[in-house]
Amino acid sequence: MGRTSAAVVDVATGKRLYGSGSGDALTPASTTKIATAVAALSALGADHRLTTRAAYEPDTKEVVLVGGGDPTLTARKDARGSASLRDLAARTAAALARRGVREVTLSYDTTLYSGPEIHPIGVNGNLAEVGPLMADEARTDDSSSGPVRRIPDPAPDAARKFGGFLADHGIKASPPGPSKSTTRASTLATVSSPPLSVLAERMLTNSDNDIAEALARHTALATGRPADFDGAGAAVTAQLKKLGLPVKGAVFKDGSGLDRRDRLSADLLTALLVKAGEPAHPELRPALTGLPVAGFTGTLTGRYADGAAGVVRAKTGTLTGVNALAGTVVDRDGRLLAFAFLASGTTGQSAAETVLDKAATALASCGCR
């Protein structure tokens, strides 16, 4: 299994029941998303929504599609509860018609974020370019999760789709170009994402990297930092420290865990889960309720075909040579335990996952004291 970091904690009491190298910070892979969820929920609140808007510049008759950093914005007919680019276009067209405007210059504004949009791992099917304006995570098929080829430069693609929807409502729009909404602009229409609680749950259940990077950047914005990779990492660290969590050795180079330079310990991961279960922090509860259920949901659907199915809830983490599992389990006595197992230097994904799954299963069957 290579180098490991492991911890088991009683959620109700906070007592550590087991630890082995628990303070050692290793590459956490996608278990990083637990930290991202807790940081974002604490900084923004569970009810916070991400808003995309259409602004009107009266001097130039320019409509600016202003990206609000909503990675779940959709151009599909069935929005399934997400903010709809089609709805935004319909409302925008109606507002323009009331002004007697039938032809506009179309622009898009991506200035909410700063810094590079390409993740340090480079162009990758596991996530789109990290920008504040995209439709359907810039996916090139009808999928809603998992790796797939992404549309390069997703902001103008979203703006072109928006322009097409405007045309459906009788508004002629120019081909879109980059711009910035000014203070003179008036808001024509807005659409908002589901609440942050829902976004955090979706991120954890599906291991959604696009949502993770967006939530990390919004944590940066909420705490007055630049909305780039460095600012997001600093914001997540600061927010966890503010919650009194053990951040020594922690490194956040991104919000998703795709960067191999990320570092987390089993102590921090279990502390995050315990904090999310505290009655004093109901806003953090989605960090627990979004964890995949063994044998049933998300990244654990095909795992745990045994007595631990339905009892273990955990976030997986997988990179070449890295395997991690962090979550909760109800033991034989009905107690809720938080656990985190990280392994770096593994030589086979399947074998490593089997070891981690057996460890979690053992917790479910024990009367751990």
How many Cβ atoms are within 10 Å of 309's Cβ, its own excluded?
16
Q: CA neighbours within 13 Å on the CB side: how many for 358? A: 6
- Cα 206 vs. chain centroid, distance in angstroms? 10
Per-residue pLDDT, 367? 66
Please list the residues that pair with 84 across neighbouring strands. 74
30 has catalytic annotation: yes
d(CA 55, CA 63): 6
In the set 22, 30, 181, 344, the catalytic residue is 30
Please list the residues that pair with 19 across neighbouring strands. 7
d(CA 29, CA 253): 11
d(CA 209, CA 224): 23
33 has catalytic annotation: yes
Domain boundaries of the chain, sorted by first residue: 3-47+197-365, 51-194
Per-residue pLDDT, 53? 99
In the set 207, 256, 265, 344, the catalytic residue is 207
Per-residue pLDDT, 2? 86
pLDDT tens across the length of the chain (369 residues)? 689 999 999 999 999 999 999 999 999 999 999 999 999 999 999 999 999 999 999 989 999 999 999 999 999 999 999 999 999 999 999 999 999 999 999 999 999 999 999 999 998 999 999 999 999 999 999 999 999 999 999 999 999 999 999 999 999 999 999 999 999 999 999 999 999 999 999 999 999 999 999 999 999 999 999 999 999 999 999 999 999 999 999 999 999 999 999 999 999 999 999 999 999 999 999 999 999 998 889 988 887 766 678 889 999 999 999 999 999 999 988 999 999 999 999 998 889 998 998 999 899 888 666
| SS3 letters across the chain | CCEEEEEEEECCCCCEEEEECCCCCECCHHHHHHHHHHHHHHHHCCCCCCEEEEEEECCCCEEEEECCCCCCCECCCCCCCCCEHHHHHHHHHHHHHHCCCCEEEEEEECCCCCCCCCCCCCCECCECCCCCCCCHHHECCCCCCCCCCECCCHHHHHHHHHHHHHHHCCCEECCCEECCCCCCCEEEEEEECCCHHHHHHHHHHHCCHHHHHHHHHHHHHHCCCCCCHHHHHHHHHHHHHHCCCCCCCCECCCCCCCCCCCEECHHHHHHHHHHHCCCCCHHHCHHHHCCCECCCCHHHCCCCCCCCCCCEEEEEEEECCEEEEEEEEECCCCCEEEEEEEEECCCCHHHHHHHHHHHHHHHHHCCCC
**Domain 3-47+197-365's class?**
alpha beta
Per-residue pLDDT, 302? 81
Between the CA atoms of 280, 283, 287 and 291, what dihedral angle is there, to the nearest 10 degrees? 100
d(CA 232, CA 217): 5
181 has catalytic annotation: no
In the set 22, 33, 42, 197, the catalytic residue is 33
d(CA 368, CA 336): 10
Task: Residues 51-194: name the CATH superfamily.
Answer: D-Ala-D-Ala carboxypeptidase C, peptidase S13 (3.50.80.20)
